[in-house]
Amino acid sequence: MVTTAKITSKGQITLPKEVRKLLDVQSGSVVVFEKKDNKIVLTSAQTLKEFKGILKSNGKSADFNEIRKTAKEYKKGKAALIGKR
C-alpha cells in the first residue's frame, strides 16, 4: 500500500482511511512515531509503556510501576464515581 497525506500549516496530517483501518485507530487514539534506520514507523499505542514520553515532564523522574499503580487507582476511583450516577 502506498498513500499520501498533506501537511497543514500547523504541521498536522490526516491519516488516510486505509491507514486508520490498518492500525485500528479512531479519533482520540494515540499513535507512536518511531525512527528506524532512515524511516519513520507508525504504530498504534496499545499499552501504557508505549505512551512514555508523550506527557511533558516536570523535571522529576518517576518509577514506571508507581505511575502504573497511581493510574490504576485513579481509574478505579473514576469508575466508582460513574457507578454513583
pLDDT tens profile 55-64: 566 666 677 7
Q: What ranges make up the beta strands (E) of the chain?
A: 31-36, 39-44
Residue whose C-alpha cell reads 491519516 in the numeric block: 15
> pTM above 0.75?
no
Q: Residue 40 pLDDT more than 80?
A: yes
Under a CB-based contact definition with an 8 Å cutoff, are residues 3 and 17 in contact? no
pLDDT above 80: residue 22:
yes
Q: Are 20 and 31 in contact (CB under 8 A)?
A: no
Confidence band (pLDDT; 50, 70, 90) for 10? very high
Domain boundaries, the chain: 17-83
